[in-house]
Every structure is written in structure tokens, then in C-alpha cells.
Amino acid sequence: MNGTYSSALPTDYNLVTMTITTIFFDLGSTLIYSKEYWLPIFKRADRALLEALRHSGIAVTPASLYAGFDYFLDAYYTQRSTGTIEPTAFTSLNDALNRQGIRDVPEVVIREALEAMYAVTQENWYLEEDAILTLETLLRRGYRLGMISNTSDDTNVQKLVDRWGLRPYFEFIVTSAECGIRKPDKRIFRLALDHFKVSPEHAAMVGDTLEADILGANRMGMYSIWITRRAAGPDLVSGSAKSPSPIRPDATVKTLSEIPSILAARA
């Protein structure tokens, strides 16, 4: 897997005694956030994808390629909505082309089309202003940090991580597109825990999505922290209000900067 690891620990690591030793973060709407509504951005991204395919000699229309959907990411999100197996954007696009009788497309062609699409969507992600300070504080206090992200494309996440300077703070990064399993499936959490050789009761999960981050952590016996800054309010894609959920986090915060004190209170 394309995880990252550093053996270096903060100088004050041995001075810290705590129940939780390892903290996992979600990425989107947790460490980074979107400013604009996604629907028009998805449409621009779709035009970039189709243009890249045409540049490679593959002329298709949304109506023919996406089986009734207006744009690729809409078709992808509908496909992934059932179960916890990650279909990935690469597989979804390749399957769509196959259904049109366009077979044996070189991987580089599909990859270039996806990168053209994600180059558009990446412009709508911004770093939370308290993200770096929070991560630095946690490392200074001796916590080990990992990232568990549900995503259609591993390369897209890795580029966002580097774009916003997050990589130095994380020993390990795992994505659903990389391992094939989505949160809340226990298996993706187990991969992350096994990397750190830590048991669930000594780990915490921070995320904005109750049905993925919090439910998954609860099922594993991890300490779950729900960050509501981007979770509350209308859905940015559909505009629909979010309905109440029976899933209960162990702690709720509005900002990342609250997390160190929440964890310190448990030490």
C-alpha cells in the first residue's frame, strides 16, 4: 500500500502517559474543506474528463457513457452507495467504456482522463486554518497520527495531502481506493491499526461523517470524535437537509483545535 511512515518521534514522547496513543483522521471535510457547491464543479470536471478522452481518440457523450447520468462523478457516487467495496473511479470509467464497446483502453489514457477531472475538483479543496497547529500539537504531545480516507481515487488524495503540506504529520495513509474497502467496514480500520500495532482501545478516529467515520470507529471499539464544522447544514451536492442519525460519537467537537484538550482530559 502507498502509506507513509517515519520512525522519528517527538522529543517529549517518553514524557507522555495516555490511554490513546494513536489518532486517525479523515481528510475531506475534516482537515480540508470545500468552498463552493459541488454540482457545477462536477460538471466542469466532467467536461475536462471527456476532453481528455477525445484527445486520446475516444469520442463519447455523457448520455452514452454514464447510463442516464449527467456526469461521471454522479454515476460513480450512485454506484458506490451500496456496500463497502470501493469501486474506484478508474474501474468505473473503464467499465463505462467497456459497456460502449470501447475495450482494451490503455491504463495511461484512463489515468490521464481522471487526472484532468481531478485537477478541476482539487481547486475546490482548502486547508482548515487550525489543521496544521492541531496536528503539530498532537505530535508534540506524543501521539502518532494516521489517515483513513474514503475516496474514489488514491492518487487524488495523495495530491491533496501534498498540496496542503499534510504528509509530514502522518506516519501512515490508507485510502479506500487503494485497499478496496470503504469505511465503516472494519477491514480498513484493521489495516490502519495493524500498521501501528495498536489495539482499538488505544486509538481514536476523527471525522465528519457519522455513517463512515464514527460508526466504523464505534464498531471497532475505537474512541470516536465527530467534527461538526462541515457536517452540519445542507448537503453541498444535493442541497438536501441531513436527517438525524442514531449513531453516537464518544465526543463531538466543532473545530480541530478542540481535539488536544478533549484527549488530554482522558489521559
Instruction: Dump pLDDT digits (tens) for 29-39.
Output: 999 999 999 99
The pLDDT of residue 243 is 57
Same domain, 239 and 179: yes
Residue 232 confidence class, pLDDT cut points 50, 70, 90: low
Task: Give me the mean pLDDT over the 68-92 stretch.
Answer: 89
Which of 105, 123, 141 is the C-terminal boundary of a domain?
123
pLDDT over 80 at 88, yes or no:
yes
Same domain, 225 and 207: yes
Same domain, 143 and 237: yes
The count of domains in the chain is: 2
User: Quick check: is 7 in a domain?
Assistant: no
Task: Cite the DSSP H helix spans in 56-121.
Answer: 62-65, 72-79, 89-99, 107-121
Q: By three-state DSSP, how is residue 121 classified?
A: helix
Same domain, 27 and 95: no
Domain that holds residue 90: 38-123
CATH number of domain containing 165: 3.40.50.1000
The pLDDT of residue 41 is 95
The rounded Cα 251 to chain-centroid distance in angstroms is: 20
Which of 56, 88, 123 is the C-terminal boundary of a domain?
123
Cell numbers for 217? 470507529
pLDDT averaged over every residue in the chain: 89
5-59 confidence digits (pLDDT tens): 333 334 343 334 459 999 999 999 999 999 999 999 999 999 999 999 999 999 9
Q: Is 90 left (phi over 0), alpha (psi -120 to 50) or beta?
A: alpha
User: Quick check: is 2 in a domain?
Assistant: no
Could you count the other beta carbons within 10 Å of the beta carbon of residue 157? 24
Same domain, 165 and 238: yes
pLDDT over 60 at 238, yes or no:
no
Same domain, 246 and 135: yes
Give the burial string for 197-214 (b: 16+ CB within 10 Å, else e): ebebebbbbbbbbbebbb
In a 13 Å sphere around the CA of 158, the CA atoms on its Cβ side amount to: 15
User: Quick check: is 8 in a domain?
Assistant: no
pLDDT over 80 at 142, yes or no:
yes
Which of 123, 145, 180 is the C-terminal boundary of a domain?
123
In the block, residue with C-alpha cell 501501528: 196
103-124 confidence digits (pLDDT tens): 999 999 999 999 999 999 999 9
Q: By mean pLDDT, which of 68-77, 82-91, 175-184, 258-267 is the weakest?
A: 68-77
